[in-house]
Structure 1
């Protein structure tokens, strides 16, 4: 029974372990952007500003680090975007070692209220994942209330990645089904929107997309006010294409 409870707990918590800090940072950024904006100005559509990237976009400064095998698989900062706010305490463009990744996941899980027996099983499940490393990067579209945080989690094998994805892709209360990522069956997205303040300002929308490619688990969390779901879905597809062909797609 403890194993089953731990498995359910892990499936709920794991998607949040790497992005729980990002949600706070993203929320603050989005709120500050909207509060400081000219409400009389027309809203720009983010997708209209996207342009075709260069053949190998990993090189230019400001597009993100690409000095390791894992960071080369992160989507370079797309045209029109800049590196975004820090993801928790880890910065906005960083790779963590296997040991630090495991330690981070266990420490974050400690913050959830669960019986000691379940917590021990959760630690065991995290160890069984065989964390090899984590790469994190955030993006912001200047002038618009949009942040996107990407986490690539490398685990010991594809079976571990698939099992995590199947557990973690279950929607929680308050979430609705998000857009489908074209051509990517091993992916799913959910959307949650906060209520408006009552002054006509739209609530902050959060879109979380999960996917796996081989031994890589992909988490993309975007926040916007309002949230442009199609733009985020396109970024997720670009990230998955990047994994398939590092250095060729953005």
Structure 2
């Protein structure tokens, strides 16, 4: 049974985008999932007394594991497909990056940093048992003009996609299912578009707010041992069908048990 999450901190900024972001962080912390961990690490409030995170020292066989994470990156939808170009940086990792199993495990654990010590250690043990093989992430811009400070003026939107390969397939399914059920249970979220041929994929939108200028959508799905997480944003209205098409294409590229097709 999952432990109860720690009390959420009072957000500085109100609004539907803040509500989505706060819930994403909560889900990441509760399930210890790989999805959205980059966002969690990048945006979390820094408590001087909380544990700090750094990449582990590479083990002798780390080169072999890094090669596996490179294979995971090959599953990502390539730039230039259907007008998708390179998007903005994802935290400190740039717009296109791969992490080895050890690095991915450390990143997942960092998502738990704000939980009480006993809960954090319990979830860290679960993460260790799941044996994360690697994480590959890539950000996209919906036009071919490239990312710049005026991209929203052109009606473009950005999408970040994260693939996390985890040895424990049951954990992959559990993480994605829990996350989708969590968002579904919250009345403030609206259901996003369905992903054709992928019933386990779910997308969610923040509540309608005529005063909010930004729009956002989060999605989660899994295929074999690969957990797929998507976050899209734009000045509204967001092209949710375009995001859904990218997610579908991404899932179609991953075949059982997690190999590119």
* TM-score normalised by structure 2 residue count: 0.67
Does 1:144 find its partner at 2:155? yes
- The match for 2:119 is 118
Query: Does structure 1 retain, via aligned residues, the 8 Å contact 2:32–2:123?
Result: no
Which residue in 1 is equivalent to 2:216?
206
The residue correspondences of 1:66-105 to structure 2 (distance < 5 A) are: 68-77=70-79, 78-105=81-108
Matched residue count: 199
Task: Work out whether 1:178 is the aligned partner of 2:192.
Answer: yes
Whole-angstrom distance in 2 between the partners of 1:235 and 1:23: 25
2:33–2:175 CA contact under 8 A, matched in 1: no
Cα drift, residue 157 of structure 1: 3.0
Q: What does the per-residue CA deviation read over 1:137-188, in whole Å, with 9 as the maximum and x for residues that have no partner?
A: 0001243330000000000132121111122222056322111101101211
Pairing partner for 2:251 from 228, 236, 240: 240
2:41 & 2:177 partners in 1: Cα distance?
Answer: 23
| Cα RMSD (Å) | 2.9
Residues 193 and 204 in structure 1, CA contact (< 8 A), matched pair in contact too:
no
Which of 177, 187, 196 is residue 201 of structure 2 equivalent to? 187
Separation (CA, whole Å) in 2 of partners of 1:221 and 1:176: 15
| Change beyond 3 A, Cα 1:134–1:212 | same
Gaps of at least 5 residues in structure 1 are 25-66
**Structure 2 stretches lacking a partner, 5+ long:** 6-25, 45-68, 144-153
